[in-house]
Amino acid sequence: MIVVDTSALVAIAFGEAEREVFVDIIQQAPRVLISTPTALETRMVVHGRKGERAVALVEDLLRLPMFELVAPGNTELQAAFAAFVTYGKGSGHPASLNFGDVFSYALAKVRGLPLLFKGEDFSQTDIVAAWRPTSRG
């Protein structure tokens, strides 16, 4: 079981280099959790860049049986705020997590699950990654 962040779903929707790796990881997971604010953020980002057709692709992906939308409860809200204070934009921490990021972080942290993401922001936190790119030496 894993948690997925907007960055991984956007990489899939836009056919970025990590697309196939992320699809494989998702297909191998018995369940993929996504916070409802993250699902909204994903739709907003995809719509802003590629429009309704790309949003439909994301919605189709999230309807697959392995996906489970999780509404944040009080525990997740507390964890999201703690992540913001420690790692959020304006905290001075290099991770500089945004609003959507702290919900992905919180869900993964509270559930003790690895997070599937793209980029360097989460790798600068204490979150466990579901995937790390191989070094390009």
Q: Which residues are annotated as a binding site for Mg(2+)?
A: 5, 101
Where is 69: in which H helix or E strand?
strand 67-70
Contact 93, 126 (CB under 8 A): no
CA distance 85 to 97: 10
Asked if residue 4 lies in contact with residue 103, where contact means CB atoms within 8 angstroms, the answer is no
Longest C-alpha distance within the chain, in Å? 44
**CB distance 31 to 1 below 8 Å:** yes
Known binding site: residues? Answer: 5, 101
Q: How far from the centroid of its chain's Cα atoms is residue 133's Cα?
A: 16
